[in-house]
Structure 1
Amino acid sequence: MVSAILCAGLYPNVVQCKRRGKWTAFYTKEVGKVDIHPASVNAGVYLFPLPYMVYGEKVKTTSIYIRDSTNISDYALLLFGGSLITSNGGEGIEMLGGYLHFSASRRVLELIRKLRAELDKLLSRKIEDPGLDISVEGKGVVSAVVELLHSYSIEC
């Protein structure tokens, strides 16, 4: 859940993690290939189990580096990232102007859209009424989000 919250705060600073044998390569929409800053706690990690990362800043020295990075799932990105745009043909969802593409059955895509809409409504209500008890008023939505985020199967 913490990584999903970081996703909400750091979006649109998203990196795609692509497995390349025994290590992972990282790509951003703006500059393409980037590396993890050598001083980062993630610098010594070669394989990341989840397909994306969010990061706090990008710096250029001898290479282009990302710092303050956290590995996130596609579910975290879909629920806590930016706008969900239906791709051409309706067979997927795009984010960041088409840079990120998610494919699933129409039923799964519709469920994700509905859950995201309910989550957005709940958060808007909380902003309007800070005294709102989300654990009571949004119990079903919160339970569904937590279950989805924890259901992600991690394989290294």
Structure 2
Amino acid sequence: MNGVKAAQQFCSSYFLSNSVMYMIRDMRIQFGTLLADIGLINLPTGHQAILCAGLYPSVAATEEGIGGTVLASLKQKAGFTAKGRPVWYDGRREVHIHPSSINCSLKAFQYPFLVFLEKVETNKVFLRDTTIVSPYSILLFGGTINIQHQTGLVTIDGWLKMAAPAQTAVLFKELRLTLHSILEELIRKPHKKTTPPSDMFWRHEIISFPSENGCTKHKK
């Protein structure tokens, strides 16, 4: 019996709603991420990266995380925007965190990027099931990386922007290649034990990275 059928059978046997249980799970993830973002708890390493890998390119960013030319075009389309809260864009237009999300009431975020599960359009375009993700998560599991060596900026998929030394961006490209090769090997030979890169390799790569918070401080 697979996981989905087992979950449905469990809910049925205890008179529980399967959809409500999934909703509780999603809310638990959101709440845990929020507590971690404000420093009250520590989530397991890679939590945000896993969500980013699964949901990208369903991503939005504030002005701080968008390239200048793209941002100017987006702001022109958006028109008047109320002040006091971060304004989010999905690369094509202004979007809003859904009122049911615990992130909706926040006025400041640790990082200018989020991933979302669902986009709903009524009088506005709302994002549901949102999670703030770090620049490193975007670099590792996002789209095409374009390194601007002279300015110290990196763009992802032509519109997401972050500040990072060229060396850091190149290291992430190498990490991507290594990760992809491991995953491809596991897909081709799922029963074969794949030897991961040595601890010394990962230690060298990680030590070479600057502080992650520095990736969100852009040059004007």
2:49 paired with 1:4? yes
Structure 1 segment 14-93 matched on structure 2, within 5 A: 14-18=59-63, 23-31=85-93, 33-86=94-147, 92-93=153-154
| Max Rg structure | 2
Tell me if structure 2 keeps the 8 A contact 1:16–1:51: yes
Amino acid at match of 2:165: S
Aligned-residue RMSD, C-alpha: 3.4
Residues 147 and 166, structure 2, Cα contact 8 Å, conserved in 1: no
Change (3 A) 1:147 1:18: farther
Q: What TM-score, normalized by structure 2, do the two folds share?
A: 0.56
Name the structure 2 match of 1:137: 196
* Offset of residue 138 of structure 1: 3.7
Question: Secondary structure, in 3 states, of the residue corresponding to 1:75?
Answer: helix
TM superposition score normalised by structure 1? 0.76
Residue aligning to 1:120 = 180
Give a deviation string over 1:80-139, Cα, whole Å, max 9, x none.
12232445979543322x1113343222222121122111212222222223556x5245
SS of the residue corresponding to residue 123 of structure 2 reads coil
Give the whole-Å Cα distance in 1 for the aligned partners of 2:151 and 2:178. Answer: 21
1:152 aligned onto 2:197: no
Structure number having the greater helix percentage: 2
Once the two structures are superposed, what CA deviation does each residue of 1:9-65 show, in whole Å capped at 9, x if it has no partner?
Answer: 11111111347985322111122x211111112222221111200111111112111
- Structure holding more strand per residue: 1
**Aligned residues: percent identity?**
30
Number of residue pairs aligned between Structure 1 and Structure 2: 151
Q: Distance in 2 between matches of 1:132 and 1:4?
A: 25
